Structure 1
């Protein structure tokens, strides 16, 4: 069967239109939240902290803030996008349409990743109003932004298929991903931790993603850039494998 670009575009356009109908929730709320983070962490706490690895604290937390929003929004957009057809029953029409599993994933994940990347760039622009920013590797930063957005959108797609209620949609992002992000060096360097806790923190996969993204800003991170790319690529391949299994078995799609 030939590639159904029209089907991919139809899913993508529908998901993007949904984001435009909820601009306040999709764009405005995260920007306001980012501004509040800078007021609390950048001003209140940052004024009492010295530089971290030669970087002003306000600038140091920018990559972590972007990643915090990117993780949660990528998961939410992709999970809700595929869960809603399940909830309404229209998923069966999609599965019977001349659209392959790859095209379905491209449509939903592509739209979720696009929204997350746009949001990340908006947050970056918002941060520039609060702190002076200098990105040493802008092209690498954009590449990492897209890579991580796609990876977590795939993860969100899996959650949307797995979830059987709106409460379950929020379970993993709120109780697992967000705490791991806060404990993954979003607002501090893990080198500031005692040796024992630093070793424990290295088992947190989010550390490698945030560290790699921070490297694109300042040329240094908590862990090696190679390990950051390996961790991100490994997570991406794992998500692709799980999604392939979902469509092969029909797990919670056809039952």
Structure 2
């Protein structure tokens, strides 16, 4: 394992984050704070409790996931697309750096940024809504697992994209709608029976449900199933990344 190579890629990506701190960290935190103000304080104070939890506190895990999924994909996809766009990816491919080491460097840095963002949003929520974390270790585990999984997914998007516009197609047209429909602002138990069954085909339901369980001990689906679905998607991403590097798809053309 070429540890210096992994460390060099990781440091370069983290340095880029701190050079663009406003766009990378401050902007998503401020955007999510608006959700806390509108839904948590203004609207939440006029709504009842869901499963014994105030509405403002109930939506915190969903809002963190909403930001985490989009930022994880964006961080990882942009990080690997820039070398493709500038042509420096060929230096990486010809260097004594294995695909695994490159992935660890890029995905590791993107995951670090995403976890930092998730924790900052969690701290910011304290200024607007009181909440508790019943299982803090599991909360961190779900946060890290989700960040690594969707940073890996974002890495694939970055390798696949031919231009900057394509980097935003899947996050804006697929991931964000699935997150809004995945129980970020409500429990799927509140839906009619038909829509409850249909919601179970939405993979984001399992992410939000497992993450919410770590806060309040309540979930729409079994927490073991939530973790298993996330790890299965991570494994699928790993297989796709391995195939891309083995075949050179979108890398050598």
Per the normalisation by structure 2, the TM-score is: 0.99
Aligned to 1:226: 224
Other structure's SS at 1:240 match: helix
1:47 correspondence with 2:13: no
State how many pairs are aligned.
253
Alignment of 1:28-47 (within 5 A): 28-47=26-45
Whole-Å Cα distance in 1 between the matches of residues 90 and 26 of structure 2? 34
Residue from 235, 238, 241 that aligns with 1:240: 238
TM-score by length of 1: 0.98
Correspondent of 1:128 among 120, 126, 129: 126
Q: Which residue of 1 aligns with 2:87?
A: 89
- Which residue number corresponds to residue 108 of structure 2? 110
Deviations, residues 174-221 of structure 1 (Å, cap 9, x unaligned)? 100000000000011011111111111110000001000000000111
Unaligned runs of 5+ in 1: none
Counterpart in 2 of 1:166? 164
CA distance in 1, matches of 2:47, 2:23: 33
Quote how far apart the aligned CAs of 1:27 are.
1.1
Question: Residue deviations 1:150-174, cap 9 Å, x none?
Answer: 0000000000000001000000001
CA distance in 2, matches of 1:252, 1:30: 30
Structure 2 equivalent of residue 23 of structure 1: 21
- Equivalents in 2 of 1:244, 1:225: separation in Å? 29
Paired residue for 1:193? 191
**What stretches of structure 1 move > 6 A for 4+ residues in a row?**
none
